[in-house]
Structure formats: C-alpha cells, structure tokens
C-alpha cells in the first residue's frame, strides 16, 4: 500500500526554521518540526517550484535552510493544466483577492491528486472563503 501524497506548501519549511520569538511562531515551529520528524514514515512528501520560488524571494533569516529543506523533496510539475485550474479558481472566486500564489499551490496539489496539502496559511489555503462553500 502506498503512502498518502502530501503537498508541502511554503509555510511549512518557513516555520520549520523561523527565528520569530512570538509565542505563536515558536509553537508553530515546534509543531512543524514534530510533524516533519514523523511525516516521512507515514506520507509521501512532495512540493513544487512554486514553493521554491516563494522561499527564495526576499531575504530573511534561515532562508537557505528553508530552501534546502524544500529541495530535499521531489518536485511536482506545473503544467498547462495546472494553469487552467488556477484560472478556474480565480474566475469562480474560490480564492481571496490577489490569489495567484495560493491558487497555484491548491491547483498543483489537486492536479497531482495529493490527499493532503499542509500549510500554516490558515487565512487563505486552509479556510473556505467563498460563502457558497463555507458550509461544506
């Protein structure tokens, strides 16, 4: 039996190495590290060039470590079909304003039939924003 496929979004390697001192950030870092330690035994972890691009943008402490962690995972292909899915998500307002990055992660995970998408992005990716789907 194969392991469930899990798409690792940008916030996971970012929080794994966060240097933020706030209580919430420290808790997320510890939870992320605990999850990461057990996840490879239970799941097939994958990511994408979209995650790498986001991790490489700007400058922040532990950037190199976050990129290296993401690079340790297989990368899913971003195809023209993924772009069509992004367009559909945006057109049908399934993602909030300026949704391209979040819609891209969701489209990649959907297209490649990932069972899970792990993220700390609870405002956009992990929460329904369209009133038509919020009751689902």
pLDDT of residue 99: 55
Domain coordinates of the chain in residue numbers? 5-77
Average the pLDDT over each of 13-22, 50-59, 63-72, 117-126 and give the range with the smallest value. 117-126
For residue 130, pLDDT beyond 50: no
> What is the C-alpha to C-alpha distance for residues 105 and 16, in angstroms, rounded to an integer?
19
> Residue 16: helix, strand or coil by DSSP?
helix
- Tokens standing for 72? 């340790």
User: How many degrees, rounded to 5, is the angle at CA 33 between CA 76 and CA 23?
Assistant: 120
pLDDT of res. 131: 42
Share of the chain above pLDDT 90, in %: 74
pLDDT at position 80 is: 95
Least confident residue range of 9-13, 15-19, 32-36, 98-102: 98-102
- Grouping H, G, I as helix, E, B as strand and the rest as coil, residue 75 is strand
pLDDT of 91 > 90? The answer is: no
- Is it the case that residue 124 has pLDDT exceeding 90? no
Mean pLDDT, rounded, for 102-116: 94
Considering the chain, what is the average pLDDT of its residues?
88
Other C-beta atoms closer than 10 Å to the C-beta of 14 total: 23
């Amino acid at each position: 039996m194969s392991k469930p496929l899990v798409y690792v979004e940008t916030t996971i390697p970012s929080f794994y190495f966060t240097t933020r001192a706030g209580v919430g950030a420290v808790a997320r870092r510890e939870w992320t590290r605990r999850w990461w330690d057990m996840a490879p035994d239970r799941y097939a972890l994958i990511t994408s060039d979209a995650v790498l691009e986001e991790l490489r943008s700007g400058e922040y402490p532990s950037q190199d470590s976050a990129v290296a962690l993401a690079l340790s995972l297989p990368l899913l292909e971003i195809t023209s079909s993924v772009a069509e899915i992004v367009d559909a998500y945006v057109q049908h307002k399934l993602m909030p304003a300026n949704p391209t990055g979040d819609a891209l992660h969701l489209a990649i995970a959907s297209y490649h039939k990932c069972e899970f998408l792990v993220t700390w992005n609870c405002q956009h990716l992990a929460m329904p924003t369209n009133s038509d789907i919020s009751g689902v």
